Structure 1
């Protein structure tokens, strides 16, 4: 069984910081974790691999849980604010090229928003704790974690906007790679209905395989003549291939009429990227400079929705660390009166 933390009944200790060394350690760790999350983001922007994306998301989660812990442990308002302020500025050390010698105002604005939201979240958490009779960790987390995560995502969205749109970091090769990986991950779903198709095939083979699956599995009616699977299979092989080729050409013609010409010497994944690229350029011409900002905002909203699903996990991580620190004696629960308790770093 996990040992319970020692509760000092009717303690004469006031709710003030007792150990500045432990507070300093928390502050240094917070700065380090913040810088690591910014570094993971920079790696992902330069080389959008899943491993870098996962590292960034995990580091943001750990950092948000650490902000929650600091809100619980640090009592001095000015100390907490100074710690959080430095942690909010630490990404500037990683993205210094975006600030000096040429200032990128979206990144500067992102760092400012990040810092202010971190300070607001920690102060709010500390205020809730100081006005509570009991330490309700999950209740405090509901006020701290969403703001801390939102601050990190605002900065990340601003950095991505500058990298991809202002500095031209988004190349055609990068786009092709992302689309190819996305379509490759979707192929198992495609194979449920069209087992012989692949986004790596040429357009001719791809559309013919679509048509072949339709002929082999689905009965259809053309004009007033019913044509079944059995009828198709009864035809000579050469006739079957001719029908499939003509049907594939018609499917391709229908796609091209809606989305533009498709090259024969490239895989379907490249054609899909070309269609998306033309659509993006068309929208960009209509929206002008607002297009990049719109993409950044949509990216922020999408990421915020994803992280919202894991707020409970961030809270759980912080709570496990909190309990560990209590058990090891790094922190202690103090019972100020018969009713009210608080946490100190003795």
Structure 2
């Protein structure tokens, strides 16, 4: 009797959960792992889409309106802001400046970081100190470095560079690095080309993953160090280089608050204007949120086009042979 009551008290499994479990078990192991992975990342993905996607969509909408701080979201004006942008001379000056900065900063960043990574890979004496020295320019807040460079290039007795050049007899009067229309952008470029420490670390991580068999085979075939770098290491770095170029391109287009805002504020006469500072000026100086959003969307499109143009020549198509 006791056994019969125990058998009667046993609960049958729920048909719905059994059906779901059996359906999940019937999937391949790869599909199960894929579903589990998506379930793990779904919460963070949803938060990321909300944090990044909502401002992007709202910014696109604002670019079609005459929004201001007191009139948000403002009246819908269609493509009027984009017609204004095409005919706005300061916008084209800002685009030209950011392209000029990128044309200098991106190649120098790649060359300096790759060279430094190769040298530190050789485990030179004091390599740890060298790594720290290269990381310092990117470790601190960009505003601090902008202030330091402003103090160095200030066009009077407070400027360190002018004082040194005068003391050495190289110049006879102060050079207006930051107040000259022809020298403002070169001064900004001079201040941003030294921050390659992060790219160097990424190259070092990529170099550590190179297949040792390929390098040993090249050495046995008589390839010297330069030939190994030119024909083996550099081609294998194409995917890493593409990643760094895109990252640097995004960083250049965001340039403004850290350097231009502190050093020149877009002057003199908009000679050093860049899109990010133009967005700030339109939104918070002239209270034109709609046009500021249009400038932001315009620079987003320019960045996307440049990234697509650079993707093909830098796309890595090499294979690792173990």
Scaled by the length of structure 2, the TM-score of the pair is 0.28
**Quick check: which one's strand share is greater?**
1
